Structure 1
Amino acid sequence: MNNGMKIRVRGGLPLPPVGSPVNGTTEVATTERVALLGADYPGMRARILVDQGDIVEAGAPLFEDRGKPGLRGTAPVSGKVLQINMGAKRRLSSIVLAANNEAPLRFDVSRANSNDGVRALMQETGLWTSFRTRPFDRVPSIEGKAAAIFVTATDTYPNAPNPRHVLAGQENIFTRGLAALKHLTQGKLYLCQNAGAALAEADPQIVIVNVSGHHPAGLVGTHINRLHPPTRQGPVWHIGYQDVLALGKVLTEGHLISVRTITLTGEGLRQPRQLQVPMGADLHALARREMTPGQKRILSGPVIVGRECQFLTRYHLQATVLNAKAVAPRHWFFAALRAAAVPEAFVPTEALERALGPKLHVVPLLRALSIGDAETAARLGCLQLAEEDLALATYVTGGEIDFGMRLRSVLDVLEAS
């Protein structure tokens, strides 16, 4: 055990898993196609840096933000550019690659011992997009400064990969990534993990935070609210433990290894699996051999916050296969879980208080979001939140109002003001 700080979420909801749990074995899996998705980079106006048919190395830039050169997406694998798909208003929809076994691009890591050096390396490799900010949950600007950085190494979604198992045997690489992140802030680096042995050594800057409780105990919004609420003048950044591991591997090996350890679960599978796959892997190809008969829907992410997508999205560590007939209503899962997980004796206010991990005035906040009152919502703490923080509020109210979408609308107003 370690003697770090503690966050205990009282209440929360023990979400039941959809489908069977996975065992602890991780299979290495590849797919012929991988993709970067424009929806993973909201607000970015992408300038495409490749042409269809180009051969690229893993780590090579595929696009960058027109307004912020240096903020870029890079190839997760070496391969051929198969498709460049543009959506409405010429926004990037996806870049699809056909993977090959060619060597990855090499990076100079010799200067990654300072703020400028780590910043430059993360931008060159595309790992800068691992960061998201609070407020607004956007990728930070390349000149941005963080009042603190949160590393999330705990997960309370059902059937999520266990961070301890993923990091086992790679602790030194993970620690190297953490050490590099210390250069990017003069504030604290909070490593939020489940209770147990520390995943890294604490020091005057690195704070080990032991997190316990039901979901949403594993959400970074809960941690930020308890430890370092952000302001417009003092934003905080957050990053997932697997991206810190990827940074450590760049520093150790000199090239980008864009892999994810994910779980592939759901009622539509014969056998759930834990897989190590390329970032942006083709979920349809991964799921095909284990799917039961009948039409399916495949989500990137856990059911409660996932989105239907062929490819693994940038920030998800799960994929879920569902029987299509069961998912006609948008919030079918919320209604099903409500009956299973929320006692009938609860009044709505009590259920909502349990559903939101951050210690905020929940009912007034949701009321402000519902009517689009951005000023009141900001005063009540919405700048600390992102859509995932309100998924349980949507669930316990029966899914009639998507509070995550309402929050995003209000955040967009506040961001533009």
Structure 2
Amino acid sequence: MSQTIKLKKGFDINLAGKAENKTIEVTQPDTFALKPTDFSGLSRPKLVVKEGDNVKAGSPVFFERNVEDILYTSPVSGEIVEIKRAEKRKVLEVKILADKQVEFEKFKAYAASEISNLSKEDALEQLKKSGGWTNIIQRPYGCVANPEDSPKSIFISTFDSSPLAPDYSYVLQGQEQYFQAGIEVLNKFTAGTVHLNVDGKAEVSQLFSNTKNVQLNNINGPHPAGNVGVQIHHIDPIAKGDIVWTVNPVGVAIIGKLFIEGIYDTSRLVALTGSQLKERGYAKMYSGACLNKLVVEGDDNRFISGNVLSGEGVGSEGYLGNYHNQVTVIPEGKYEEFLGWIMPSTKKLSFHKAFGMLTFLNGKDKEFQVDTNTHGEERNFVISGAFEEVMPMDILPTYLFKAIMAEDYDDMEALGIYEVIEEDVALCEFIDISKNPLQEILREGIELIKEG
């Protein structure tokens, strides 16, 4: 039975630079990259290619040594031109000089009517060989799902409430057949429910409202209402020993296209956002695309694969992350201010109604132009109670962070570490007056629990 969830806690960040609902042309970059660092929990990738090899889209590039049958595959066709490594020969990037016309590895194609009768074993085999399996993420831990597990449910959030987020109804327009096929495939892997969660504050696209074999839930509230972790917490919470899988709506369509067309096509409409882009809209890009073809204002900018809260700063020569459907470009903030935040201002964005912050006088529709300046440096952990005001989950984030820093396993479990990943605490990091790297702290705790 469908549910309606109304959330009060949270904070919407209204930034300048939203993508218009139009498709714009961006020159295809020369190089693409597949990065093991995009896949949380992938600790020991084993390469199956070397420099000079030619690959197609869907060709294997590496695999996890502990799970050899799940392949991580190339997003485009071309030549492997560089394998970038760090200390101890850790693989950071596999760079591909792309062909002008992408060629695909061929997998078995099915008529849409055949997919519902496809066996779980056949679906699993195709997903693992093509790279399609990597679209399925496990909670807890936020890592690529283990195909030997049986999740109690699968969750798909059809909206993103983070700053300047893409509109998935626009991104997926015309892909109804692929999306439904992806849902049919996912239903084979759980005896529970596939939850399709929509924004209760907006008109629901027919793409989602007409989807079959799902439970449609309405989620209403400020950010992070669009985070799938928040939705799981209120609909089917995770206890110790539980497994839930999540899939981004773009990933659902990619899976569906894999079975209908027989190709692993990672292309998608990516939202180009941020105040420094000369043109904002949606551009067709393949996963791992280099961002050096984007046209921006100014010379000193932060290129972010993803959103400003939980995305990755990659630089103008960096690459689009495997799970990102948004690129954000904002100014760097390499400056100091006289009296800093003590000076009264209506132009600075803040959650806190402190002396110098008059943000609340602007109204809800005010758009703010931000840069990367943190207006302060890391300091002692101050307990202000603010985290609890923006975390719409029945956990105590302040004490969870402290338990992680103390490496207290029992408290970490009791305080809800199984229910959250980095994006769920990104808003806490944004409003933290102590400027602590809370997302990094949480990931350290998740790895401790996972290995413990």
Distance 1:327 1:300 in 2: 24
Give 1:3-82 correspondences, 5 Å limit. Answer: 4-17=2-15, 19-29=16-26, 30-44=28-42, 45-82=44-81
Q: Tell me the CA shift for residue 86 of structure 1.
A: 2.0
**Matching residue of 1:194:** 199
Give the secondary-structure state (helix, strand or coil) at the position aligned to 1:7. strand
The one-letter amino acid paired with 2:49 is V
SS of residue paired to 1:51: coil
Alignment match, 2:363: none
Structure 1 residues 180 and 374, CA gap change in structure 2 (3 angstroms) = same
CA deviations 1:137-176 (Å, max 9, x no partner) are 1112232221111112110112211111122222122111
Quote the offset at 1:389 in angstroms: 0.7
- Write the mapping of 1:119-268 to structure 2, written as runs, cut at 5 A: 119-195=124-200, 196-197=203-204, 199-201=208-210, 206-268=214-276
Partner of 2:105: 105
Render the CA deviation track for 1:109-162: whole Å, top value 9, x for unaligned.
Answer: 459612212211111110111111111111122322211111121101122111
Secondary structure at the counterpart of residue 79 of structure 2: strand
Q: For 1:80-95, what aligned pairs fall within 5 Å after superposition? A: 80-95=79-94
Measure how far apart 1:383 and its partner are: 0.7
| Maintained 8 Å contact 1:65/1:71 | yes
- Deviation, 1:16, is 2.1
Cα distance, 1:47 vs. partner? 1.2
Structure 2 letter corresponding to 1:158? P
- Bigger helix share: 1
CA contact (8 A) 1:27 1:274 kept: yes
Indicate the residue corresponding to 2:285 in structure 1. Answer: 277
- Residue 35 of structure 1 aligns with an amino acid whose one-letter code is A
1:91 Cα deviation after fit: 2.1
Tell me how far 1:365 sits from its aligned partner.
2.8
Aligned length: 405
Please say if 1:359 is aligned against 2:358.
no
Which whole-Å deviations, capped at 9, do the CAs of 1:15-60 have from their partners, x for residues lacking one?
A: 121x422210023542221111121123321111112111111111
What CA deviation, in whole Å up to 9, does each residue of 1:85-112 have, x standing for no partner?
A: 2222322211111111153111014596
The structure whose Rg is larger is 2
CA shift for structure 1 position 337: 11
- What secondary structure is seen at the aligned counterpart in 1 of 2:349? helix
Letter in 2 for 1:5: Q
Structure 1 equivalent of residue 319 of structure 2: 311
Residue 324 of structure 1 corresponds to which residue in structure 2? 332
Q: Is the 8 A contact 1:348 1:397 kept in 2?
A: no
Distance 1:358 1:297 in 2: 31
Q: What displacement does 1:349 show?
A: 5.3
2:431 to 391, 396, 414: 396
Tell me, in whole angstroms, the C-alpha distance in 1 between the residues paired with 2:88 and 2:189.
35
Change (3 A) 1:36 1:130: same
CA distance in 1, matches of 2:430, 2:278: 27
Q: Deviations over 1:177-234 (max 9, x none)?
A: 111100011111111122344605466x621111221110011110111112224432
Q: Which amino acid aligns with 2:413?
A: A
> Which residue of the other structure, out of 329, 338, 342, is the alignment partner of 2:351?
342
CA contact (8 A) 1:109 1:251 kept: yes
3-state SS in 2 of match to 1:26 = coil
The answer for unaligned runs of 5 or more in structure 1 is none
Q: Distance in 2 between matches of 1:70 and 1:408?
A: 26
TM-score, structure 2 normalization? 0.83
Q: Write the distance in 2 (CA, Å) between the matches of 1:267 and 1:242.
A: 25
3-state DSSP of counterpart to 1:4: coil
Deviation at 1:356, TM superposition (A): 1.1
Contact 1:40 1:313 in 2 (8 A): yes
Q: Deviation per CA, 1:316-341: give whole Å up to 9, x if none.
A: 1211222234489xxx9xxx999524
* Deviation (angstroms), 1:295: 2.1
Moved more, 87-96 or 237-246: 87-96
Shift of 1:239: 0.9
- Give SS of 2:304's match: strand
Report the RMSD for the aligned CA atoms in angstroms.
2.6
Aligned to 1:373: 408
Q: 1:185 and 1:242 mapped to 2: Cα distance?
A: 20
Per-residue deviation at 1:367?
Answer: 3.5
Letter in 2 for 1:351: A
Q: Secondary structure at the match of 2:443?
A: helix
- Deviation string 1:351-374 (CA, Å, 9 cap, x unpaired) is 322311323234433432343323
Partner of 1:229, secondary structure, is: coil
